[in-house]
Amino acid sequence: MERDPIPPTIQDPEETRRRLASEVVEVEGAIALVASGTASRMTLSGLRFGEELARRFRAEAAAKGISLEPIPWPEDAGCDLIVRRMDE
């Protein structure tokens, strides 16, 4: 399955704000889901700000026993983010 390329930079500041806010909610939700034990692992795909969000939430996730592992796409086009229990 081919992915639609994500432009390396999004020119519209409002679109950037919306996308970042949406990705923050996705990462927080994935951390909460894995921390609750409902899932032992989740993969968020197609994140434009995934690497930055992994750095931002790493300490909070680690305190809950959760690991965040970004998988960058070529040419800085975005990344997937694996959210999993550290004991997995």
Q: Over the stretch 50-75, which tens digit does the pLDDT of each residue have?
A: 999 999 999 999 999 999 999 999 88
Distance CA 75, CA 30 (A): 26
- pLDDT at position 2 over 60: no
Task: Give the Å distances, CA to CA, from 27 to 12, 36, 81.
Answer: 23, 14, 9
CA pair distance 45, 1, nearest whole angstrom: 13
List the Cα angle 26/50/65 in 5-degree steps.
70
Whether residue 87 has pLDDT greater than 70: yes
pTM as predicted: 0.83
- Mean pLDDT, range 30-43, rounded to an integer: 96
